Structure 1
Amino acid sequence: MDGTLVDSTDGVVGAWELFAEKYPGLDVTQVLSSSHGVRTVENLRLHCGITDPDELEREASRFEDAIVAESKKNGRHGIVALPGVAEIMKEIGPYAKLPTPRWAICTSATKNYASAALKAAGIPVPEVFVVSEDVEKGKPEPDPYLLGAKRCGVDPARCLVVEDAPAGVRSGRAAGCKTLALITSHTREQVEEAKPDYIVPNLSRVTMKPVENGIEVTIETD
């Protein structure tokens, strides 16, 4: 979701800077280079050394609240939709309803934060909405996308995963899905290492339109 549909970079940077005040050994630059696409609880466990499950849950909630709050401070531009997203949502937005949804969101974020971020960016929340709390193992494990496909009632092999983070691409590939990577949060070289099926700069190079039993995707590659 972050880096694919929305740009929350300003808020994420602000949240890590805020957490660095409580966790003095935190190297924000190093964290930002490796944390994208990974669940907040796992990032906090790794970078802040938090091991108590209850504290992890509290701090994850505080961190994600901070993303939203910090995104508009000090002249930051807030959480916004990335290029191409609004146009795609005009086409496929209404086709996310059960019992036959044609698209879903599978994110490493918690439900509270993901819902708030999508609302801030003007993106509808689909009825199949897989969040951090729904799986025991997050990306790069296949669990999020396997669950998303299951809830949509489709074979993962018929799904296209759109991702910006190498961990997300690996998750989609492990689930047996086709993968489309965006160069919005990582370098092309970093994304290529995850071996996606397709690579584009962002969703402005992609068109989607609903068709019978699915969505037709056109990708304008280099």
Structure 2
Amino acid sequence: MTATELTARALLLDMDGTLVNSDAVVERCWRRWAAAQGLDGDRVMSVVHGRQGHLSMAILLPDRPMEQNLAENREMLATETADTEGIVPVPGAPAFLASLAGLPHALVTSADSRLSQVRMAAAGLPYPELAITAEHVGASKPDPEGFLKAAAELGVDPADCLVFEDSGAGIAAGLAAGMRVVGVGPRAAAHHPTVQVPDLTAVRVTARPDGALLITV
């Protein structure tokens, strides 16, 4: 397959499914929640990736008070944070993140700060200096707020940012922010990212003399 070259001024990175493979934990926790609610597990799993938990709950149980969703999401976050069994890096993620040392990039995740730190550590990955987590936004992906906030913090125009995402909600958020999106992994393929890669193994990032980043995927 012919390599694609993109240029950007900053890279904005999702975590779950993009840098960290946490599917085993997500499946355990959310299928258990689905069973307790009498919901179909496959239906629940088709919704939860990329979104904050309370928004997923609101979609799946639209008649339930948001206060209950928020309370259950706090319990879910505690459960997920305590469960690190099966967490591994997405193939290529360690070398990819190492190549970004000193370059403009940020983590933009629907996880809260504690969960994101625990999962990155469990996968043996360095935690980026700038992280936009659930506490920093008022709206969950697919709203673009998180990506726009990261771009503003880095001082980079949204059009000059390149997003790496795996979920439909995340890809929609990146595109809505006016950014190009590299879809990572099999989940991304159905959601029309700008470019699609199976994992991060073949992704290369090079800093040019003018400060721009050349990304080969």
> TM-score scaled by structure 1?
0.82
Indicate if the aligned counterparts of 1:26 and 1:48 stay in contact, CA closer than 8 A.
no
More divergent stretch after superposition (101-110 vs 141-150): 101-110
Indicate if the aligned counterparts of 2:34 and 2:44 stay in contact, CA closer than 8 A.
no
Which of residues 69, 87, 93 is equivalent to 1:85?
93
Runs of 5+ unmatched residues, structure 2: 1-14
Q: Which has the higher contact order (CA 8 A, sep 6+)?
A: 2
Distance 1:138 1:69 in 2: 23
Partner of 2:154: 152
Distance 1:153 1:131 in 2: 18
Structural RMSD (CA): 2.0
Superposition deviation, residue 12 in structure 1: 0.6
Q: Secondary structure at the match of 2:182?
A: strand
Q: Spell out the pairing of 1:10-21 with structure 2 (5 A cutoff).
A: 10-21=24-35
Q: Deviations over 1:89-120 (max 9, x none)?
A: 2211x32xxxxx60001111111211111111
> TM-score scaled by structure 2?
0.84
Aligned length: 201
Distance 2:136 2:43 in 1: 28
Q: Spell out the pairing of 1:104-183 with structure 2 (5 A cutoff).
A: 104-183=106-185
1:207 equivalent to 2:204? Answer yes
Indicate if the aligned counterparts of 2:84 and 2:122 stay in contact, CA closer than 8 A.
no
Look up the equivalent residue of 2:30 and give its one-letter code: W
Superposition deviation, residue 187 in structure 1: 6.2
Superposition deviation, residue 203 in structure 1: 1.0
- Percent pairwise identity: 31
Distance 1:133 1:214 in 2: 30
Q: Deviations over 1:170-207 (max 9, x none)?
A: 111111111111124x163x223xxx211111111211
